[in-house]
Structure 1
Amino acid sequence: MLLQNKKIAIIGAGPVGLTMAKLLQQQDIDVTVYERDTDPQARIRGGTLDLHKNSGQEAMKKAGLLENYYKMAIPMGVTFADEKGKVLSIKPITSENQYDNPEINRNNLRKVLLENLPANTVIWDRKCIDLAVSDGKWKLIFENGTHATADLIIGANGGMSKIRKFVTDTEVEDTGTIIIQGDIPQPEINCPEFYQLCRGNRLMAAYLGNLIVVNPDNNGSLTYGVIFKKPDNWQNDTLQNPDHIRDILLNRFKLWDSLYKQLFQSTHSFWSLPTRIFPLGKPWKTDRPLPITLIGDSAHMMPPFAGQGVNTGLMDALILSECLTNRVHQSLHAAISDYEKRMFKYASEAQQESSVNEKEMRHPDFSFQQLIL
């Protein structure tokens, strides 16, 4: 086996990195995950994840965790509403579609994965800031002054990975869309009218280039994302102050029903990042000093407008683990090359779908129904 007596380092303990570790450990491979979070209790902010049947769920199945996912995930329909707070239509959950892509809280998915890995698999408080080659091995350099070594490095540490430079010179690009996210705990108490409008489903509404996507049950909180094209005059510090963010949203939604305005007024926790893409148009480096590759957002960060990000990343873990362990390839270089060739194809298609959806969604006449139904 290619990885016999080899030490594998995965950088990043997100869903993709942890799934990769699980798949390798099933083959008795020595793998360690290095994570910048200080401990397993660190809360990951953001909306829920939905794993698709033909991609993310396939990786969970191979890892023996599909039933664990189903137990923690919530099948959710979609409530389509207009800017007046009127329900236009509902896409319900049925016995036929309930397992297609149920929603799971990011922290709960991490918990599922961590509980199924040996306790010493993840080393916490290890933010990798650089790599070096030493005595024929990779030397991982961490922000806290510690070091580690490995024969193979798998970068799974997100879209702004600092180790990507060892694999490619391609730069991340801003797509021109802003997503402002809000979080309201105990929504049945803190925003009861809007909570009722959702009817237990994800809620989607769009009007004149402003869009909102709501999940009323994200581990006991209501979370939402407001999507719009980034104004030309915005600076990087525009979205730093919660009161300022709330004012921006109230102004953008001034023509909407008071239900939406009450939602923003009930929100005390906002966060936002511009949407970015790491394009795959340029081939990756072939002169890497030692075996190294990328999976997940590190490899192909994309806008979240097709629900493909985590699913594509989990496909990476599934395919890379197979390439490394199926005894077909004669070298680590060949195994990695096979994975990357296949990944470039399906990840590029996912990026294209996400980008097309993004452009459609920013159009003033856009309707969620035309995209989903």
Structure 2
Amino acid sequence: MLIQNKRIAIVGGGMAGLTLARLLQMQNADVKVYERDVNRDVRVQGSTLDLHEGSGLEAMKRAGLIDEFYAHYRPIASKMRIVDKSLQIKFDEHNSGKAFSEHRPEIDRAPLRNILLNSLKPDTVVWDSHFVSMEKQNNGWHLHFKNGTSAYADLVIAADGAKSRVRPYLSTESPVYSGITLIEGNIYHAENNAAKLFEFTKGGKVMAFGNEQFIGYGTKGDGSIMFVASFKGPENSLEQSGIDFKNKEQVFAWFKVAYAGWSDEWHEFFTNDDVHFIPRPQYYFPLNQTWETQENLTMIGDAAHCMPPFAGEGANVAMQDAFELAECLTNNKFRDIKTAISHFEKQMIIRGAAATQETLENSEIMHSKTALEQMLIFFSH
């Protein structure tokens, strides 16, 4: 096996990094995951994930974790309501039997992460390891972390997300602004803090369209709500607005102006006592990106092909990256690691570009003047 007696460092303990670590350990590889979170109990944010056949679900099958997945997935989370800006229901899967997205079962990020973490050997994940830099050493890399520690690896895999600090060692290609910015909000104890909107989901998710803007939200198994409010705008519009996103009154004032014409019922997101906001301009890497393959470094997931969230492809493509890279490194079909990585990267770039293109097309539809009509036609068929 190409990676026999090789030390492998995966930088980033998200879905892609943990999936890859699991698959490599199943082949007895020597692998460590360096994660910047202080420990595994740090509050996990982010939306519920729907895993797809051939990518996310296939990764769980190959990892021998599909039964664990189905023990923790949330069938009701797939049920969707489409509404207008006045919260008037235009499409309701709660009244239509089988959900459109039921073939894409949904699971919260926290239990999925726990399933993957629990499948790894003890001490595989090195917590509180925020990557700072690395330099070449022998035929590998010497990695340095913010806490003052360091480590050597023969092979480094960047799985540290859209703002990857490892990616620049491989590619100088800059991300492209998509034209869409969103504000993410997380509300804890939502049944008390956003009671009406919490009840309105019936445990599923809601998508609202109007004025070339979008609001989407859903409940999670821990009783929280994550919502996004997205819109077309200049890249630095929120940064230049001077809004303090730790100040809910300032964010609420912005919303009432920016989303003028949307009903007051949406205000519940902004007026409760336990809401936290994050501004997120949405980026993607060029569809024709390329880089020179290295024998001791590659990347997967958002580090390789970040994209907006409007097609539900990001996590799925990332988990497919994990099982395809693991396959290339362990199937004994390639003469050396560089050849294996080269084969993986060529296929990965093609898949990432296709998923990004689909996402950008969805983004345009969902923020168009006829978004509501187009989405109703799509789901009705």
- TM-score, with length taken from structure 1: 0.94
**Could you tell me the percent identity over the aligned residues?**
35
> Equivalent residue of 1:270, what SS?
strand
Q: Distance in 1 between matches of 2:92 and 2:147?
A: 50
The answer to whether the Cα contact below 8 Å between 1:79 and 1:91 also exists between their aligned partners in 2 is: yes
CA distance change for structure 1 residues 233 and 315 in 2, over 3 Å: closer, same or farther? closer
Partner of 1:338: 343
CA distance change for structure 1 residues 174 and 190 in 2, over 3 Å: closer, same or farther? same
Partner of 2:73: 73
Deviation, structure 1 residue 108: 1.9
- Alignment match of 2:197 (pick from 194, 197, 211): 194
Deviations 1:173-226 (A, max 9, x none): 221211112222233322222223223321111011121111023521122111
> Equivalent residue of 2:239, what SS?
coil
Q: Distance in 2 between matches of 1:123 and 1:155?
A: 15
Partner of 1:19: 19
Q: Distance in 1 between matches of 2:37 and 2:235?
A: 34
Partner of 1:51: 51
Deviation, structure 1 residue 103: 2.4
Partner of 2:143: 140
Deviation, structure 1 residue 94: 5.2
Deviation, structure 1 residue 18: 0.4
Deviation, structure 1 residue 259: 1.6
Partner of 1:240: 244
Deviation, structure 1 residue 166: 2.0
Q: Distance in 2 between matches of 1:147 and 1:251?
A: 49
Partner of 2:270: 264
Q: Distance in 1 between matches of 2:377 and 2:270?
A: 26
Deviations 1:273-306 (A, max 9, x none): 11111224132124x3x41100000110011111
- Alignment match of 1:328 (pick from 321, 330, 333): 333
The amino acid of 1:251's aligned partner reads: V
The answer to whether the Cα contact below 8 Å between 1:305 and 1:357 also exists between their aligned partners in 2 is: yes
1:160-171 to 2 correspondences below 5 Å: 160-171=163-174
1:1-373 to 2 correspondences below 5 Å: 1-75=1-75, 76-92=78-94, 100-231=103-234, 234-236=237-239, 238=241, 239-241=243-245, 242-266=248-272, 268-286=275-293, 288=294, 290-367=295-372, 368-373=375-380
Deviation, structure 1 residue 38: 1.1
> Equivalent residue of 2:352, what SS?
helix
Q: Which has the higher helix share?
A: 2
CA distance change for structure 1 residues 13 and 94 in 2, over 3 Å: closer, same or farther? farther
Deviation, structure 1 residue 29: 0.6
Q: Distance in 1 between matches of 2:378 and 2:146?
A: 43
Structure 2: 5+ residue stretches without partners: none
CA distance change for structure 1 residues 280 and 169 in 2, over 3 Å: closer, same or farther? farther
Q: Distance in 2 between matches of 1:54 and 1:208?
A: 36
Deviation, structure 1 residue 371: 4.7
> Equivalent residue of 2:244, what SS?
coil
> Equivalent residue of 1:236, what SS?
helix
> Equivalent residue of 1:33, what SS?
strand
Deviates further, 199-208 or 261-270: 261-270
Deviation, structure 1 residue 165: 1.7
CA distance change for structure 1 residues 235 and 187 in 2, over 3 Å: closer, same or farther? closer
Deviations 1:60-86 (A, max 9, x none): 110011121222221221111122222
CA distance change for structure 1 residues 213 and 248 in 2, over 3 Å: closer, same or farther? same
Structure 1: 5+ residue stretches without partners: none
The answer to whether the Cα contact below 8 Å between 1:48 and 1:218 also exists between their aligned partners in 2 is: no
The answer to whether the Cα contact below 8 Å between 2:16 and 2:300 also exists between their aligned partners in 1 is: yes
**Root-mean-square deviation (Å):** 2.0
Q: Distance in 2 between matches of 1:283 and 1:98?
A: 33
The answer to whether the Cα contact below 8 Å between 2:83 and 2:91 also exists between their aligned partners in 1 is: yes
Q: Distance in 1 between matches of 2:146 and 2:128?
A: 9
The answer to whether the Cα contact below 8 Å between 1:79 and 1:199 also exists between their aligned partners in 2 is: no
Deviation, structure 1 residue 161: 0.8
- TM-score, with length taken from structure 2: 0.92
The amino acid of 1:51's aligned partner reads: L
Deviation, structure 1 residue 98: 7.4
> Equivalent residue of 2:17, what SS?
helix
